[in-house]
Structure 1
Amino acid sequence: MQSEGHRARRPQDPHTQLRPEQHSTSVMDTLLLCTILSLLLTRTAASTALDDGWSMIMPTEMRAIEGYPVVLPCSFTHPHHSHHSSIQVVWRLGHGTSSTVLFLCTSLNDSHRCQARASQDQRYRLEGNPREHDLSLRISSVALQDGGRYYCRLEVPGHPPAIFENKMGTRLRVEAAPRILGLSVVPSEVSGYKALCRVQGSPLPDVQWVGPEDVLEGAPAYPLLQEAPNQHLTFSQLQDVQAGGQYTCAASNPLGKDQATLFILPSAYVESSLETSPSPLLLFFSFSLGAKVALLLGVAVWVAKGHLGSWLCCMTN
């Protein structure tokens, strides 16, 4: 029997874990290798940017109010040793083959003026000076249809020509107060008739139906996607409208309000005066808020004084 001091050593298992100091050294080597690779990659990217030396700067999003002008900022940087006798500025709405060129101008021989095409839409104008690295575009009297993503591009002639563009572009969001475009009465799919209200605005307006005394329960408004890709139009309906009724379509969003009122003549009055009318409910008057209401009151006073009868007699004679 061997003593404890002379016990035979077991052969070392190749899968035995490293000692703590060996494990620490291995981790440090791995971290050092990762750091070196990271620095090499960073150096490579920085060198590419310095060799090129061009950059385009645009905001990711801009907001505008319908009817007012807006300036879309765009600036660029380039190497100080770069000098080009001719540069061309291009602004596009949309990206790819479906994009639309809105503005194009050329600056020659260090001129501070960028000459646009003869057919250029006058709503678009270059606000900046290309020779001062400013390609900002001004749009006068913005409309809801102007909403979308805009791209600024600088073209330098050469062999081959150089093109510089911000790939992200600027998203222009146009906001507008509600405007009621139409108010009508049509047959209902269920029974009777229903009133329809078509509204435009951005953000998309909330629509509410109001009677002479209280708020009416209309169907929830929904956007007309097939007619408005940017969802500027909304549509609401009120079921079971009655002859002799008065119905107001009221629309609102953070920028304002609009409303229009539908007057449907009583069926007894319509049947006695218009026997050929297919339906009494189809005879109605729609007045928007403001001048049309005042006009209606004026006509009512004129009729009450008998002036309408006198005028008809004169026309008959």
Structure 2
Amino acid sequence: MKNLLYLSGLLIFTSGNRNVGNNWSFHVPKEVTGEVGKSTTLSCLFSHPQKTHSGPLTAIWRIDHPYNGTVVFKCMSNNSNDPCKPTINRMNKFQLIGNPHSNNLSISIGNLTWDDGNKYYCRVELSSDRHDKYETRTGTQLHLAAPPRIINITIGFDQFRGYHAICIAEGEPAPSLHWTDPLNTNQEIRLTRPLMKHQTAMELHYLTQDGKYTCGATNSHGRVEASVYLFKFKSGNGNDIGPGLLLAGLAFKLLMLLVLLCSAAWYRNGERAQESTYENYEPKGH
């Protein structure tokens, strides 16, 4: 049945379901936390005016913004007996775990990386009619957590820092770092700097003790350690000859590379000379 509304002398027809949009509802969590390297689930349950729907439908997940954000997952089903077949699956890491015909668009995201931290919006389309399409406006914010991990630890030498140690770690929250020297005492932090959003680096300058230097990384999800060793060579009078040995080693490697290049060039020239021995030979006539 239709309702008649008169406004400024104009006759407007509206359907009895003029508030059809209000009969749609979505139930999604405001926030979800997942651990880097593992899987997490984003749930999305909805209801719609038709109550049940056995015809075609499309399920969509997007990021960044509702309605015009980047689509990361999309699947289509012809009927209630037909599984929803993915047509878009970014990085092939999304999996539909709900049944859209049962009003469930929940997905799983596998092998989480830092790039997956975003806001996700689910959408369902029951037909091409605009009243049969609906999308959550609030979305679900995916936060990422990670225990600390030391991704690089080295010892080097230069004229500005002398013997120095560098430790780089990542995690969420970004881990705090500390060094322990060969005497098992905590070393003063000489330089700490943030790198990427989830990474931190710490340096120790002018190392004097030979032995094991241990870097520890800690955040609210755990603690991890890694070690590196420093052994300086001493001359007969006790002077440190480490830098000289480093330069000598580098010079030796360059010399060996030069020898290999010369040998290869000599070998190629020898092959060409051997082939040219016969190229101008012609038998004499009788």
In the alignment, the residues of structure 2 paired with residue 217 and residue 61 of structure 1 have an alpha-carbon distance, to the nearest angstrom, of 39
Residue 168 of structure 1: which of 138, 146, 166 is its match?
138
| Greater CA drift, 63-72 or 188-197 | 188-197
Indicate yes or no: 2:231 matched with 1:265: yes
TM-score, normalising length: structure 1: 0.61
Partner of 2:253: none
Cα distance 1:235–1:89, how it changes in 2: closer, same or farther (>3 A)? same
State the SS of the aligned residue for 1:266: coil
In the alignment, the residues of structure 1 paired with residue 198 and residue 147 of structure 2 have an alpha-carbon distance, to the nearest angstrom, of 11
Q: Which amino acid in the other structure matches residue 267 of structure 1?
A: F
Q: Looking at secondary structure, tell me which structure has more helix per residue.
A: 1
Residue 215 of structure 1: which of 173, 178, 186 is its match?
186
State the SS of the aligned residue for 1:131: helix
Indicate yes or no: 2:232 matched with 1:255: no
Residue 142 of structure 1: which of 100, 112, 119 is its match?
112
- Counterparts in 2 of 1:166-245, with a 5 A limit? 166-186=136-156, 191-212=161-182, 213-219=184-190, 221-224=192-195, 228=196, 231-242=197-208, 244-245=210-211
In the alignment, the residues of structure 2 paired with residue 271 and residue 77 of structure 1 have an alpha-carbon distance, to the nearest angstrom, of 76
State the SS of the aligned residue for 1:90: strand
Is 1:156–1:163's contact at 8 Å kept on the other side of the alignment?
A: yes
- Report deviation, 1:105: 0.3
In angstroms, what is the RMSD of aligned CA positions?
A: 3.4
TM-score, normalising length: structure 2: 0.67
Unmatched segments (≥5 aa) in structure 1 = 1-46, 281-317
- Report deviation, 1:263: 1.1
- Report deviation, 1:134: 0.5
Q: Deviations over 1:8-30 (max 9, x none)?
A: xxxxxxxxxxxxxxxxxxxxxxx
Indicate yes or no: 2:244 matched with 1:278: no
State the SS of the aligned residue for 1:164: strand
Unmatched segments (≥5 aa) in structure 2 = 1-16, 250-286
Is 2:66–2:121's contact at 8 Å kept on the other side of the alignment?
A: no
Q: Deviations over 1:15-65 (max 9, x none)?
A: xxxxxxxxxxxxxxxxxxxxxxxxxxxxxxxx9755542122211101122
Q: Looking at secondary structure, tell me which structure has more strand per residue.
A: 2
In the alignment, the residues of structure 2 paired with residue 90 and residue 134 of structure 1 have an alpha-carbon distance, to the nearest angstrom, of 12
Name the count of aligned residue pairs: 229
Partner of 2:36: 66
Partner of 2:7: none
In the alignment, the residues of structure 2 paired with residue 142 and residue 51 of structure 1 have an alpha-carbon distance, to the nearest angstrom, of 35
In the alignment, the residues of structure 1 paired with residue 32 and residue 122 of structure 2 have an alpha-carbon distance, to the nearest angstrom, of 14
Is 2:155–2:230's contact at 8 Å kept on the other side of the alignment?
A: no
In the alignment, the residues of structure 2 paired with residue 196 and residue 271 of structure 1 have an alpha-carbon distance, to the nearest angstrom, of 21
Q: Which amino acid in the other structure matches residue 246 of structure 2?
A: S
